[in-house]
Chains A and B, each alone.
Chain A
Amino acid sequence: MASVTGTAISISARPSRRSLQVFNGLSVVKSVSFAGQRKSIPSIRSHPATSRFRVSCAAKPETLAKVCNIVKKQLALPENATVAGHSKFADLGADSLDTVEVVMGLEEAFGITVEEDSAQSIVTVQDAADLIEDLVCAKSA
């Protein structure tokens, strides 16, 4: 088959070495040191996993609708499944691959970049839509 070296595996222009977020309200470790602070048995974190983040723009209905649509398509949910603001990403069955794709899809659709810190507290689709609205507002400000 024709060599792919010349073609389309483009390394995307996004910032490299971004850490992946989990859209199910679980906080994530941003970096793990191998020098050895990790205990041998995983333990519960001392701080709450989810903390409300501040949003200056709550999502417009059309933003929420667009987010729901992208999520629904990405997760290949059945036609009769409801994806609404209150839907939790975890319950929609998003795995790690899905999560990357949903983030990328949202970034592309809205022309934004989602930072680690903000993404950490996203539990529901509404949270994601609010965050996106915030980023879109900030971009055009």
Chain B
Amino acid sequence: MENGVRRWLVNVSQWNPSEAQFASVISLFPVDEQTAITRYIKFEDKKRALVSRLLQYSLVHEVLGIPFDKIIIHRTAEGKPYLKNSIDFPFSNFNFNVSHHGDYVGIASEPLCLVGLDIVSITTPKQETELEFINNFSPYLTVLEWKNIAHAGSSEEMLAEFYRYWCLKEAFVKAIGAGLGYGLGRLEFHHTNWTGISAYIDGVESKKWRFSLSKLDEKHWVSIARGLPNKADELCCSNLSLPELGFTFRTLEELISNVN
């Protein structure tokens, strides 16, 4: 029985379309989406934007059965995509989140809980040292998090540690749809070797959120934040304590064939 939960990933480095192929995939989408995709200047950004939409539409189609050409996805003022089509119970709180960075584009959906997803691609900074780079983000990390980063080991290990914290913070902010104006320095993550992750907001542990962080490969990590919306009922609370579903890798060919 359809439960509305999905965790999909695509490795875009494995897709190298010709101009014609790219054009044909883009034409599957409504004009405003096409414009949004082609506005990007770098081809890699266009590619990721296209795959992101492909994931969104495929997921909605698969979970809710809405035909591709009837799917309407809008964005909040903060840029979070959401489904405009009205949906019936039990998916009335259906929401999803996408992320892309480096080689991966991912999507996560939930029927009841809020969900946020973030992928980070650990990139060695080009114009500054790892420490200088991390220092840019000092207002967004707490003292404890800084300490953990500082004690992580080599510069590379510190960089990776920073990226893991950032990944979790982003997933959370994206789940609540707050955009980047949220004070990330208010949020502190506690964990045991990156499992059993909990979030403290303004010093108080949040019981309404669950987090997971997993490694995709040497340079990529993915995090999921799941939480209770405000008028959370029994069903949603029990939903929250379900174990985190693992990611499924999808290929472009599969996703494109779903459209046709």
Contact = CB atoms under 8 A, between A and B. Distances in A.
A12 B140 contact: no
Interface string A98-130: 011100100000000000100010000000000
Interface in A62-108: 73-74, 76-78, 81, 87-88, 90-93, 95-97, 99-101, 104
A42 B149 contact: no
A4 B133 CA distance: 15
Contact of B183 (A1, A10, A17): A17
Contacts of A7: 131
For B181, B183, B201, which residue has the most chain A Cβ atoms within 10 angstroms? B181
Interface residues of B, number: 54
A61 to B, nearest CB: 22
B135 A19 contact: no
Contacts of A99: 180
Contact of A81 (B42, B206, B229): B42
B77 interface: yes
Interface string B123-136: 00011000101111
A8 interface: yes
Nearest to A73: B127
A4 B135 CA distance: 13
B45 A21 contact: no
A10 B41 contact: no
A55 B74 CA distance: 32
A36 to B, nearest CB: 4
A38 B184 contact: no
13 contacts: A4-B150, A9-B146, A12-B135, A14-B139, A17-B139, A19-B182, A22-B79, A22-B179, A32-B176, A37-B230, A38-B176, A39-B230, A91-B40
